[in-house]
Amino acid sequence: MHGTRIRLIRAELYEKVWTTPMRTLGEELGLSDVGLAKICRKHDIPLPPVGYWRQEETGHELTRPPLNSAKNGAETLDIFVRERLKPEFATLAAEPTPKITIPAELSHALALRTEKLLAHGKENDKKLMVPKAGTTPHLFVSREQLPRALRILNALFFAIEERGQSVSWPKEESAVLTFAVDGETIKFCLLEVINSVAHVLTPAEQKHTWTAPKWDYQLTGKLKLRIDNLPYGMGPIRSTWSDGKRQRLENCIGHFVVGLNVVATAIKKNRQQIEERDRQWEEERKREEEERQVAEEGKRKAEFVSQLVQNWEEATRLRRFAKSMQESAGQLDLSERGKSDVQRVIDWTNLYADFLDPLADLPQAVSEFVRPEEAYSWLTD
92-114 pLDDT, tens digit each: 888 899 999 999 999 999 999 99
**Better-predicted residue by pLDDT, 207 or 355:** 355
Residues 108, 151: one domain?
Answer: yes
Q: What is the pLDDT of residue 327?
A: 92
Question: Mean pLDDT lowest for which of 155-159, 231-235, 302-306?
Answer: 231-235
Give the residue-averaged pLDDT of 341-363. 93
Residue 285 lies in a domain: no
Residues 336, 316: one domain?
Answer: yes
Q: Find, among 217, 225, 221, the residue nearest to 199 by Cα.
A: 217
Q: What is the pLDDT of residue 346?
A: 94
First CA to last CA across the chain, in angstroms? 57
40 phi and psi, to 5 degrees? Answer: -65, -45
Question: Mean pLDDT lowest for which of 161-170, 183-192, 329-338, 372-381?
Answer: 372-381
Q: What is the pLDDT of residue 1?
A: 46
Please state, rounded to an integer, the average pLDDT across all residues of the chain: 90
Q: Find, among 180, 169, 181, the residue nearest to 137 by Cα.
A: 169
Q: What is the pLDDT of residue 184?
A: 95
Residues 312, 241: one domain?
Answer: no
Q: Which residues constitute the domain of residue 254?
A: 93-203+210-275
DSSP assignment, residue 350?
A: H
Q: Find, among 291, 239, 247, 287, the residue nearest to 266 by Cα.
A: 239
Q: Find, among 306, 300, 217, 228, the residue nearest to 260 by Cα.
A: 228
> What's the predicted TM-score (pTM) here?
0.68
Residues 266, 334: one domain?
Answer: no
Is pLDDT at 31 greater than 60 in this prediction? yes
Give the integer Cα–Cα distance in Å for 231 and 239: 10
Q: What is the pLDDT of residue 4?
A: 75
Residues 79, 97: one domain?
Answer: no
Provide the H-helix boundaries in the chain: 10-17, 22-29, 33-42, 52-57, 87-93, 109-119, 146-162, 253-330, 336-356, 362-370, 372-375
Residues 339, 230: one domain?
Answer: no
Residues 130, 259: one domain?
Answer: yes
Is pLDDT at 380 greater than 70 in this prediction? no
Residues 97, 235: one domain?
Answer: yes
Per-residue pLDDT band for 3 (boundaries 50, 70, 90) equals: low
String of b and e for 311-330 (b: at least 16 CB within 10 Å)?
bbeebeebbeebeeeeeebe
Give the integer Cα–Cα distance in Å for 381 and 375: 13
Residues 196, 214: one domain?
Answer: yes
Give the residue-averaged pLDDT of 287-307. 94
Residues 97, 228: one domain?
Answer: yes
